[in-house]
Chain A
Amino acid sequence: MYQQASWMITLLFSVFVILIFVTVLLKSGKRVDYGKIQTKGYFIRSVWFVVVFSVMLAATYFTLQDLPFEGAEAEETPVDVQVTAIQFGFDVSLDTLKVGDYAAFHVTSKDVNHGFGLFDDQLTIVAQTQAMPEYTNTVYYKFTKPGTYTILCMEYCGMAHHLMKREIKVTE
């Protein structure tokens, strides 16, 4: 959902920016007094500032409601899964889960920085965090669909980085 939303917002904004720059380009030829342009321009700029600032404020408010590192403990007790990354693979304490399980992945690394990317069977990322030496990051994900999920490395860690892979089965 977030991927699609990002793509659509970027496309729409890009079209808007292209239209603005092309319009100004097409209207750059005939010279008029800059004082008039400034008076009108500064007014438009004020409106533009209010619009951009308001959009940013609203986006901040709504998106901060859904932080991936804050588990909904009140909802249910999570199923703990320990994940340890090592050049070049993942050790997991549990590789079979059930639909409806609310998993808490506790992710760390034994050597260098790695990334923990959880992909569904359509190869779409559904959750991620960093796998760091000396630290444990916890990320939460509720499995709502059965299938084979794959953990892939999302932080460059050496020559076999792209081969780091571990499957998790989610059954009905």
Chain B
Amino acid sequence: MTTTLHVAIDSKTKKAVVFPLVFSGVILLLMMIFGVVMLLGQGKLIELNPIMFYKIMTIHGTGMIGVSALAGSCIIWYFLKQYVPLNTAVFRLNVYLFLVGVAMVLVGIFAYDFAGAWTFLYPLPAQSGGMWGKTGAALYLGGMLVIGTGFLILLLEAARAIIKQYGSLATSLGWPQILGKEKGFGPPPTVVASTMVCIVDIIALITGAALLSMSLINVFVPSFTIDPLLAKNLTYAFGHVFANSIIYMGVIVVYELLPRYTGRPWKSNKIFLIAWNMSTLFTLIVYPHHLLMDFVMPKWMIVMGQVLSYMNGLPVLVVTAFGALMIVYRSGIKWDVASSFLYLSMFGWVIGVVPAIIDATIVINHVMHNTKWVPGHFHMYMGLGACAMILGFMYYLTRMEGGRIDNKLDYLTLWLYILAFLGLSGSFLFSGKSSAPRRWAEHFPEWIPADVVAAFFGTFVMITFLLFLVRFISYSSNIGSKINQSDDIRPSTHG
């Protein structure tokens, strides 16, 4: 093989991603601890006041998605900068706004008792049933607005840079190749994926901002009301798309590094480009699968929620994961922990897709909606998919830039993480099969054994993640310290 693992990135960009990655890692760990505390409470292994449970539940959901997106933005920024000039000040601005927003959310929840869940379904923020007041709701909604604004500015900058380089987002999504106007391969996979993320997230974040603003007004001016069904649509048009986009940000590290590890190119051929165009469209319009039990929705939208969810599985099942398997198969790859995480992420994405698709089937959703089946499938998909991408990126950085050498404990921790996450997700799915509701502070005795099992596996997930984080932080200060390293980098295998 004649390839190199180095990526042609300047030291400034390398250094810029260190703090947000460390911060994301620490917050992810904290959110995992909160997750385990909730399971210990549901399993009656500790006494947990329901009010505290719902506050923790709110920060767990909000924090997990928020910091995963922050880590995902590091991946997109780091690799996209090879192809288009990006303004690092904008990247830093997003991190600052994120910190401000997180502080507001934390104060809103823990000082002013806001516990409206990450979904903050209208009109719950203004009608708490006596649990929180206007200040708590305003701090939470305002904090979310600040965080969303930061991501919006970041992605507008990425979209601007892509359009400047490629002429239009249609070109960077490969339309000339799809339509046969140009022969050969489309833009690099990183550019295609970044374009998709920019399109779906810019729309989702503007939608979310509109909803957050209207909810904020409603908190202070109750006579200002929103149609509850419209508000619910806006919630999931924002929340589903933004959460879903994290894995599309993360997969960029797979597109960039697996070809380098295996010495085999990952080109944007026509099928690849069609798959990403499908993902762009489906990710935007698939959200009605959250509203399958809202029977007042137009029937065609409910049916489309099922059909599009099925279709949205095709790009990953048939193109992305299959492509990863082909690249690895008989490649002579020299495995390390980083590449193992990247391979794991493809496994996690695929294995998480099926229970998700099953739940998007209307007749099944009828008995599974808002049971623990739902966190079962997205913990699998986020923990073994998106998180594995982030961890793979972290391990890659400290190996290439930080001077870290893989040891046996790294591999042992990796395998424990996989088994523990399968156990955790499996126990959630089992609870869902047993009709145990999600978002319940206290379960009936029949559902408690599965909660105890989940708490056991969740504790192992938490411990293994702590070990990963210690390894990353220990070597992170070296990242980007080798000046001008990018000058002698050979081109990547994307051509």
Contacts and interface: CB of A to CB of B under 8 A. Distances in A.
Given A29-B332, A30-B332, A60-B310, A2 B368 contact: yes
A70 to B, nearest CB: 8
A136 B370 contact: no
A167 B262 CA distance: 61
Contacts, number: 230
Interface stretch (B159-167, B202-210, B318-326, B470-478): B318-326
B326 A6 contact: no
B325 A132 contact: no
B352 to A, nearest CB: 10
B189 to A, nearest CB: 16
A84 interface: no
Contact of B325 (A14, A20, A69): A20
A156 B119 contact: yes
A83 interface: no
Interface residues of A, number: 75
Interface string B213-224: 000000000000
Given A17-B350, A64-B362, A2 B124 contact: no
Nearest to B441: A162
B76 to A, nearest CB: 26
Nearest to B225: A134
B131 A158 contact: yes
B430 A7 contact: yes
Interface of B: 1, 50-51, 54, 57, 115, 117, 119, 121, 123-124, 127-131, 227-229, 232, 264, 293-296, 299, 302-303, 306-307, 310-311, 313-314, 317-319, 322, 325-326, 328-333, 335, 343, 346-347, 350-351, 354-355, 358-359, 361-364, 366-371, 373, 429-430, 432-435, 437, 439-442, 444, 446-447
A155 B121 contact: yes
Given A113-B124, A129-B293, A139-B295, A48 B362 contact: no
B473 to A, nearest CB: 29
B125 to A, nearest CB: 9
B446 A133 contact: no
Nearest to B350: A17
Nearest to B325: A24
A158 B137 CA distance: 13
Contact of A7 (B50, B123, B264, B433): B433
Contacts of A113: 121, 124, 228, 232
B322 A59 contact: no
A36 B124 CA distance: 58
Interface in A105-139: 111-113, 115, 117, 119, 123-130, 132-139
| 10 cross-chain pairs, A with B, having the tightest CB-CB distances, nearest first | A31-B332, A69-B295, A158-B129, A87-B129, A162-B440, A41-B326, A156-B439, A137-B295, A56-B310, A154-B370
Interface in A60-78: 60, 63-64, 66-69
21 contacts: A2-B363, A3-B367, A3-B435, A4-B433, A18-B351, A24-B329, A27-B329, A37-B326, A37-B330, A45-B319, A56-B311, A60-B307, A64-B303, A130-B295, A135-B229, A137-B296, A152-B437, A154-B369, A159-B128, A162-B50, A162-B442
Please report whether the interface of chain B is mostly helix, strand, loop or mixed according to DSSP: helix
Most buried by A among B326, B364, B367, B429: B367
A52 B433 contact: no
A79 to B, nearest CB: 18
Given A2-B368, A10-B354, A41-B322, A134 B363 contact: no
A68 B318 contact: no
B343 A161 contact: no
B275 to A, nearest CB: 11
A127 B343 CA distance: 40
Given A60-B307, A63-B361, 20 more contacts: A2-B364, A3-B367, A3-B368, A3-B434, A6-B355, A6-B373, A24-B328, A28-B329, A49-B318, A68-B366, A119-B435, A123-B444, A123-B446, A134-B227, A156-B124, A158-B54, A159-B128, A161-B54, A161-B439, A162-B437
B358 A9 contact: yes
Contacts of B1: 31
Contact of B50 (A66, A127, A160): A160
Contacts of B130: 159
Nearest to A62: B363
Contacts of A117: 370, 437
Nearest to A13: B354
